[in-house]
Each structure stands twice: as C-alpha cells, then as structure tokens.
Structure 1
Amino acid sequence: MSYDWQQAVTEHRDELLADLKTMLRIKSVRDESQATPEAPLGPGPQQALNQFLAFGDRDGFKTQNVDGMAGHIEFGTGDETLGILGHVDVMPAGEGWSHAPFDPVIKDGKIYARGAMDDKGPSMAAYYGLKLVKESGLPVTKRVRFILGTDEESSWRGMKYYFAHMPAPDFGFSPDAEFPLINGEKGNVSLELKFGGINGGSVTLQRFTAGLRENMVPGNAEATLSGAHLEEIEQAFNQFVKTAPVSGEATRTADSLTLAVTGKAAHGMEPREGINAGTYLATFLKDYDFGGDAAHFITFIADYLHEASRLEKFAAAYTDPVMGDLTMNAGLLNFTADQAGAITLNFRYPQGIDPATIRAAIDRVTSQWNVAISVGEAMEPHYVAPDDPLVTTLLDVYHRQTGTNAPAEVVGGGTYGRLMKRGVAFGALFPDCPNMMHQVDEYMPVEDIMKAAAIYAESIYELIK
C-alpha cells in the first residue's frame, strides 16, 4: 500500500514547529547542584522530559516517566520492540550567540537555538514520524518505544537507568547523528590529568580556564597572570591575536593581566572542526618564565595537545581501516594557583586499541612531571554489519526519498544507538548541511527537519509493518 509520508508531514508542519519551539525554550542543561528526587539531573532536563511526554499524552500514546531519569512514548503491540532513542538535554550555550540561545528564532529558513540540531530538532522529527504512522491507520505487527534520555551530553545516566529498569528494545535507531546512516561508532573514554598548583617563575599563573565539557572543543579560554613583564606580555599578546586564527582581548589591572581568547567550539568527536582557544592560549604563554606545576601545565598543553588530535606528539597515532583514526579532544583545561591544575582529554578510539594503551601513551610523557591520571568509564566500539536488515531497510528508505545512493558510515561520535546490540544512528544531519552541534548559533534548516520527519515516518512503518 502506497502512502505519501511527505504530504503528511507538510500537513503537520506548523504543529511540528510549534512543538519544537516549546522544547527549545526549555534550558535543559544538566545541573545536579539543583537536583531533587523528582528531578535527579536538575530542573531543566526534568521539565524537558515532562513536556515531551505531555506531547505523547496529548496525541493518544501510552507514556511512562521512569523516575525522572528517562521516559518513553509507546505505540503498537507485538513480540518485538523497535526502539527510537533521543535525548532532551542540551549542552551549555556558551558565549557569543547572535540570538538568545533559548529563544528560538527562524531566520533565512533556519531555526536557531541550543538543541535545534542536537537533539531536539531531530527527536521532534522522529516523534512526528511515529505520530504519522499512528495516524495513518496502517497495520503494524511490532511495538515501538520512543525513549527519551536526560543527560546524553554527559554520562548517559538517564538512559543507562532506563535500560537497567525496563526491557531493552530488540533493535532500533537514534536520531542523533547524520544521514544516510551510522552503523559503527568508535569507543569513547576520557582521561583526567591532575597537576599540582605550584608556581615558581618570575611570571605567576594565577588562573587558567578553558572548556565547558570534555566532549566539546573549547571556544573560549582565559588566563590571569601576575608578576614581572606584564606590559611586555600584553603587547606581545596583541600581536599574537593578529596572526593566529583566534581573537583575543587583554585587560590590565594594577597588579595583574587577564588574557581572553576566542576560538571556535565544535563537537569533540572531530577536534579538527574547531579551533581550541585553550591550546592556542597555552602556545602563546609557553615561552614566558613560569615555574613549577604552572610551567608543566602550560608546556604540556602547548607541546603535546595543540593541533595534535591524532596523538602524533605522543607517538601513539592509530588508524583502523574500518573505523578510522584514534582522536583526542582537549576539552577541559583548568589551573588555580596554590591549588591544582586539571586537564580532561576525551578520546574516540576504533577497534584494535583500548583505554589502557591510550593511558600508557599519555603516561610516558606526563610521568616526568608527577601527574596523576584517572581513567573514566569507557564505551567500547560498536558495529552493526552493513547487511543487517535494520541497516538495509533504513538505507532503502533514505535512498528512495532523497534519490541518492550513499553508504553507511563509521564515526567518532557516540549515540544511544550503541546501547542496543542491533542499534544504529540515523540522521538527522543531511550531508550538505554544516554540522552545528555544540556550536555557537546552533541551527537546523527547517526544510531538513521536515524531510527528516518524512524519512523517519516511512522508516518506522517499514520496520514494524
């Protein structure tokens, strides 16, 4: 039976955009400092989860809130369950937006707001795909659970809690990446490096800060200095920012100098897409007379982290022929005089290498400085065979609706798709659209949202008919 999914989306266009704007107005950044039993990850994620489930209630679906950590919207019956895994939390907005990040604006055919592309726009497109399948009245033989996580941008506690307390879907996809389809995701692990906070040179590093999250290229960095040569350093900094691919500003007080650098934020899965303000600031500071831990902190960043996302400066570059390069993002860089320094590095690693090997490479360099290294929880590489019916069905729909013939891909990003043995990432970033995830002035073209909704609708139906 033929069904015009694109026409069905057109008829729901205004409704979809209204619901999306409602979600984008919610500042759903995880903040456990304000956690309550009802909002274990903070009020923003709770409000966003409740609002999305309210849409499900309004549209006649079964819904369930799982202890404020996650929730689902359910449709259909059957022995097998298709999982669609999205998330309602967003990254911190950062600075430098042209539009208020939580007041969505449609301009030149694009909707601007934090979460427009990651992941409220794609999740809303997928939800409307499910809604259209329900409204079509077409017969289905399987159950669908649209599952919503609340902290995908950090530790995945919400979705992990859901999978620990609810039956896992048999197969599914996450609308939180790129089209045509991602059937492989690299492993993901972070290392935290702890330095001391001692200075000792003629120039004192009072404070150094860069980065908002470990999986985000720092778009801004700032350092405050005291001691000798401040006027000379200020003049040199003003020349530095004229030639480097960053902007900056120097601010003097009677006894200190603060240097602020602006680069380009980007998703940490591919650091080359951004300009790391923190590492650029360290390269400028490296040649001044810092001492002790401050000197080690600055030297390590400048000599080993700056423009070295492939670990080439650790003699640890690695590439798998299927899954690609091992990558490193220097996401959090912080130092406070007389207290401590800390650097968090986020790695995306392919099959054939493991966190122990990565740590050993870092330790070979940092051991000279008495740096303590701790390894976070790792997510192993994930891969679904290209001939799996899940992959072939989704690609067939994408090819049919777009008139293209692009193959599945392997990426460095980590999505909820990896939580299912037969799980993939499917859209909603189209190949010809810039990747604005985690960036200032995040946006998604409105027409791309509509095209994605039609692709999701047909895909869901093909998987459960």
Structure 2
Amino acid sequence: MAIDWQKEVDARKDDLLDDLKELLKVKSERDDDKITADAPFGPGPRDGLKQMLSYGERDGFTVKNVDNYAGHIEFGEGEETLGIFGHMDVVPAGDDWDTDPYDPVVKDGKLFARGSSDDKGPSIAAYYAMKIIKELNLPLSKKVRFVVGSDEESGWGDMDHYFEKEETPDFGFSPDAEFPIINGEKGNVSIEVHIETANDGDYVLEQFQGGLRANMVPTSAFARVKTVTAEQADAMDIAFSEYLGINPITGSSDREENTIIFRVAGKGSHGASPQFGHNAATWLANFLDKYDFADGAKNFLHVAGSYIHEDFYGKNLGVDFKDPKMGQLTMNAGIFDFDINKDHSLINLNFRYPQGTSADTIQAVINDTIGEYGVSLSIGGHHMLPHYVPQEDPLVETLLDVYEEHTGEKGEEQIIGGGTYGRLLERGVAFGAMFPGAKDTMHQANEFMVLDDLYRAAVIYADAIYRLAK
C-alpha cells in the first residue's frame, strides 16, 4: 500500500504549527523553588506535559498522566510496544534573545522560541506522524506509545517515576537529536568540586557566580572582589579592560570604593559540545587567578582559571580519553558558585565519556591531580552509562532505510556526547529531528527550528513509525 506521507503532512501543516506554538508558550523550565506534590519539577514542566497530553485526548488516543511526572499517548494493538520518547521541559532561556523566548515568532522560515528544536518541535513532528497513521486507520501489529517526559534537561526523575508505574516499551527512538541516526551515546556524569571559601588577604573574593545548568556552557559570570587599597582596585580595573580587549569575551566592571564587581559575557553552547562556546566563568577566573588571593579563593580561582579554563577534553585534569568507536571524552564546567558566607564553593564538571573509562576513574584521577588544592569531590545528579545499539539491529537498519529513501543521502551510524531518552531502552536510539548541515541552536539564545525541516521530519517519522509497527 503506497502512502503519500508528504501529502498527509502538508494537509496538516497549519494545525501542526498552531499546536506547536501553543506548546512553546509554556515556560516549562524546571523551578525547584516551586516544587509541590502536584508539580514535581515546578509548574512549568507540569503545564508543558499537560498541554502535550491534551492533544492526544483531543485526537482520540489513549492517554495517561502519571502523577504529573510523565505520561503517554498510545494507540494500536499487539504484544510488542514501539516507544517514542520526547520531553516538554527546557533549559533556562537565559539572556541575549532578539525576541521573547516564550512568544514564538516565525521569521525567514524559522520558528524562534525556547524548545523549538529541543524538544517540543521534534516531539510535535513525531506526534503528528502518529496522528496521521491513526487517522488513516492503517493496520498495525504493535502498540505505538509516545512517552512524554518533563525532566530530561535535569535529573531524569520523570522517567524514574514513570517506569516504576508503567511497563517499558520493547524498542524505540527519541526525536531529540539529529539525522540520520544516533545509535550510540557516551556516558554522562557530573563531578562536583567543593573548595572552602574562607579567604583573607590583599584581595578577597566575596562572590563568584556563573552558569545555569550542568549541560550548558555559561554565557555570563560575575565576581565581587574587595581590595585593601584603592590603588589595587584601580590597577585591577585597568588590567580587566585590557584583558577584555584581547580575548573573545565582553564584560564590564563597577566600583564601590575598594570593591570591584566584574561581569563577563561569553558564548553559550550545549554542554555536550563545550568547545563551541566561550565559558564566561572560566575566562573570568583566568583573569582573577593572576592576583594574590589567599586560601580557598586562591584554590577556587586556580582550579577554575588554570586547570579547567579552555580545556574541553579534561587534559589538564588528567582524564582525557578517546575510544576508537565512541570518540573523545568531553568536559563542560557548567556551574560555579562561590559565596564567602557559605562554607564551601561548587564547580560542576559535566563529563560525556566513551566506553573504556568510568565515572569512578574520572573522579579518582581528578582527585590525584588537584587534591593538593583542598578539594573534595562527589558525583552529582543522574549518572548515565555509555549506550550503543549495533548498526545491524533491525531497528537501526529500518530507520536508516527510511532516512535514505526520503533524503537521497547515505545514512551512517553516529555516536554523540549528548544524552537522549533513546538510551532508556536496550534497543533505543535517537532519530532526528536536526538534519545534517543545519545550524544547532539547542541550549542557546535565539533557538530556532526551520519549518521546512520540521515538516520533513514529520514525513520521515510517519513512514518510520508505520514500518516499525505495521
């Protein structure tokens, strides 16, 4: 039976875009200060989840909300279940947007909004693919279940809770990465570095802040420094202006007598690809590290400004590692928190590591390398092991066949540092929705999704879901 998937998507373009815009208006950033029993990750992720599930209810699917942690939209019959995994939570919008990140705008064929490419846009494309198959009443031999999460960008607590209550699909994919396929994902672990904050000398670090999430390159940082004399503060001020002039960052400084407040703006990037950003916090630490701070501040600034600064592969810390198949370990320093009124500071180092090394090894080597600076280390957040589905698996073969037929391009396996819900299943992969050569704006200001790519992804998803479930 020949089905013109392009025709079916074209007939639903307006509805698809309207639904996506409504979804993008929901500010579904995790907010721990507003967590309640009804909103386990804050009201935003809950409302995004409910909005997505409401489309399934409207369109006659079987829908279940699992305690506002996650839910699913399902149809079809059979002993096996094909799982599709998307998420409605987003990373914080941050600064430097040209438009309101939660008021979606179409400009030059692109839809600008936080979540447009990660992951509300791709999720809507996959949902409409399911909707087409259902509305055409095509025969299936398997259940198709779209699992909707709300904590993918943080700790994956949504999926932990969901799978305590619901059965695990047999195989599937997540529309949360790129084409032609992602059938391997590196391990993902955050190592938290703690250093005492007490410091007393000619230069006193009172505060240092940078970064919003472990999986984002910090776009801004600020520090508050107190000096003994006005002359010292004057000299720092002049040196900071010179430092900004010769490096790929911008910034400013303000004076309050002998106290200087430094601000730096860098360039954001996804934490899985820190080499494409400019880490505002490490650049600021690198500048301050040249001054005679004492005790905890000296150690904090030296670790951040010398061992971590501009080192995206953990070489200075001694943890660099490369696997022939899965590639190179990467490191993102995503969160910096130093406050003299607290006992300890925090630097969060997020590692995407290949098979052949481990979180315990990474932690042990870091401790050996910088232990002399009074650090204490711990593993923080959700730790994910490396994941790989062989290219010969029928799931991978089918998805690559569909991609090749619809694009005319050769499909090859890919392994990435990013973590997707595809790794939730032993036979799980990531599949789209970003096409080769497209600009990646995930986790950045002015995030966008090219509308033609969105509709093209929906065509591919419809064909793929039908082939896997018919």
Whole-Å separation in 1 of the counterparts to 2:41 and 2:94 = 20
Q: Secondary structure at the match of 2:213?
A: coil
- 1:265-284 matches, within 5 Å, as 265-284=268-287
Do the aligned residues in 2 keep the contact of 1:199 with 1:338 (CA within 8 Å)? no
Q: Which residue of the partner structure matches residue 366 of structure 2?
A: 362
SS of equivalent to 2:242 = helix
Residue 340 of structure 2: aligned partner:
337
Alignment check: 8 A CA contact 1:148 1:159 kept:
no
Number of the residue aligned with 1:314:
317
Equivalent residues in 2 for 1:89-238, closer than 5 Å: 89-227=89-227, 228=229, 229-238=232-241
In the alignment, is residue 301 of structure 1 matched against residue 310 of structure 2? Answer: no
Partner SS state of residue 183, structure 2: strand
**8 A Cα contact 1:182 1:426, kept in partner:** yes
Shift of 1:327: 1.1
Distance 1:431 1:252 in 2: 48
Contact 2:318 2:366 (8 Å CA) reproduced: no
Residue from 339, 351, 356 that aligns with 2:355: 351
CA distance in 1, matches of 2:105, 2:202: 50
Is 1:414 aligned with 2:415?
no
Q: Distance in 1 between matches of 2:95 and 2:199?
A: 30
Instruction: Determine what percentage of the aligned residue pairs are the same residue.
Output: 50
| Deviation of 1:288 (Å) | 1.0
Match of 1:245 among 240, 245, 248: 248
Q: Distance in 2 between matches of 1:232 and 1:6?
A: 65
> Mean Cα displacement is larger for which, 179-188 or 368-377?
368-377
Runs of 4+ in 1 over 3 A off after TM superposition: none
CA–CA separation in structure 1 for the residues paired with 2:259 and 2:6: 61
2:267 is aligned with 1:260: no
Match of 2:80 in 1: 80
Q: Gaps (5+ residues) in structure 2? A: none
Q: Deviations over 1:223-254 (max 9, x none)?
A: 11111411111111111111101111111223
Which structure 2 residues correspond to residues 417-436 of structure 1 after superposition, within 5 A?
A: 417-436=422-441
Measured in 2, the distance between the counterparts of 1:109 and 1:259 equals: 39
1:378 aligns with 2:395: no
Judge conservation of contact 2:215–2:272 (CA < 8 Å) in 1.
yes
Deviates more, 1:86-95 or 1:135-144: 135-144
Q: Give the secondary-structure state (helix, strand or coil) at the position aligned to 1:93.
A: coil
Cα displacement (A) at 1:315: 2.7
Which segment drifts farther, 292-301 or 134-143? 134-143
Cα pair 1:24 1:120 within 8 Å, conserved: yes
CA contact (8 A) 2:299 2:374 kept: no
Question: Secondary structure of 1:314's match?
Answer: coil
Aligned residues of 2:65 and 2:71 also touching (Cα < 8 A)? yes
2-side partners of 1:28 and 1:440: how far apart?
16
Q: Name the amino acid aligned to 1:362.
A: I
Distance in 1 (alpha carbons) for counterparts of 2:188 and 2:53: 30
How many angstroms does 1:338 deviate by?
4.1
The answer to whether the 8 A contact 2:273-2:417 is kept is: yes
The residue type paired with residue 27 of structure 1 is: K
CA contact (8 A) 2:73 2:147 kept: yes
Task: Give the Cα separation in 2 of the matches to 1:3 and 1:307.
Answer: 51
Tell whether the 8 Å contact from 2:92 to 2:212 is kept in structure 1 after alignment. yes
Partner Cα distance (1:30, 1:262) in 2: 23
- Shift in Å at residue 408 of structure 1? 1.4
Distance in 1 separating the partners of 2:463 and 2:117: 21
The one-letter amino acid of 2:458's match is A
The answer (yes or no) to whether the contact 1:326–1:347 under 8 Å persists in 2 is yes
Pick aligned residue for 1:398 from 398, 403, 409:
403
Q: How big is each residue's C-alpha offset from its partner over 1:354-377, in whole Å with a ceiling of 9 and x where there is no partner?
A: 111100111012211221111134
Deviations 1:352-399 (A, max 9, x none): 101111001110122112211111342110000001010010111111
TM-score (norm 2): 0.97
2:152, 2:328 → 1: CA distance?
Answer: 23
Counterpart position of 1:438:
443
**73-82 or 332-341: bigger deviation:** 332-341
2:279 aligned partner, one-letter code: N
CA distance in 1, matches of 2:100, 2:258: 36
Q: TM-score, normalised by structure 1?
A: 0.99
Partner of 1:328: 331
Q: How far apart are 1:316 and its partner, in Å?
A: 2.6
Q: Which amino acid aligns with 1:242?
A: G
SS state at 2:383 partner: coil
Matched pairs, number = 465
Q: In the aligned structure 1, how far is the partner of 2:109 from the partner of 2:276?
A: 24
Rounded Cα–Cα distance in structure 2 between residues aligned with 1:58 and 1:49: 14
Residue by residue over 1:73-110, the C-alpha shift from the partner in whole angstroms, topping out at 9 and shown as x without a partner, is 00101010000000000001111111111111111111
C-alpha distance after superposition, 1:298-346 (max 9, x if no partner): 0011111011111111233210000001111101111111423110100
Q: Which runs of 5+ in 1 are unaligned?
A: none
1:182 counterpart SS class: coil
